[in-house]
A = this chain, B = another copy of it.
Amino acid sequence: MVQHLRVTYNDIHNLIRQRTPEIARAFNPDLLIAIGGGGFFPARVMRTFLREETSKKTLQIQAIGLSLYEPVDGASEEQIGLEVVRTQWLGDETRKGLVGKRNLIVDEVDDTRKTIHYAVSELWKDVDRELLNHPEGERAALRAATKFGVFVVHNKKKTKLAEIDASTPYFSGADIDDLWLDYPWEATDIEAHDELAAADKASA
């Protein structure tokens, strides 16, 4: 039987509250990049807590749209969940804004790590293309000043199908077993969802 982990909005809000001071100290992001749709809510909440922790004005949130290949006519079983599809990407202005910045990629869950891996490697490609518009002598320093970090609300402790470079700071709100996560924004009856989440906590 698949075990479910039900999380409430406040659970997620508080995971982000607890983790953000360390992220502010260790990574100090200049820009948040939300992976839609799951990263939208966490990124918006994190912006609130980053504002408390740093002297920066309100951080910008940029959105990218990624989804793992979903079943469509003609797709083989093997393709499902293997290919990351872009549904939205950064515009030219934003790509310029990555160079020399500390960019934190935000998503709700790290399951197989394929989506996170795709985001990090494609964003580096954007940086490398953008560096060609800078004088050759400045490129190495600008690249060294450019950082990507990752924050996910939940990281599943399981064999990952992709890895991200060890030089990429990685933060999670919680490391959990390989459970089926029930997020509140997917609940059609939020009161029932919250009651089940409370019962889970009471019996834990």
Interface of A toward B, CB cutoff 8 Å: 9-10, 13-14, 17, 34, 36-38, 40-41, 43-45, 47-49, 52, 57-58, 60-63, 65, 70, 87-91, 94, 184-188, 190-191, 194
Contact = CB atoms under 8 A, between A and B. Distances in A.
Given A65-B60, A65-B61, A190 B10 contact: yes
Contacts of A37: 43-44, 47, 61
A34, A48, A94 pick with most chain B CB within 10 angstroms: A48
Nearest to A94: B88
Contact of A88 (B14, B49, B91): B91
Nearest to A49: B188
A190 B52 contact: no
Nearest to A92: B91
Which 3 A-B pairs rank lowest in CB-CB distance, beginning with the nearest? A40-B40, A63-B63, A9-B9
Given A34-B40, A36-B40, A88-B91, 17 more contacts: A9-B13, A10-B191, A13-B184, A17-B190, A34-B63, A36-B44, A36-B61, A36-B63, A40-B40, A40-B44, A41-B41, A45-B185, A60-B65, A62-B88, A63-B63, A88-B90, A88-B94
B88 A52 contact: no
A52 B188 contact: yes
Nearest to A108: B44
A87 B60 contact: yes
A194 B52 CA distance: 20
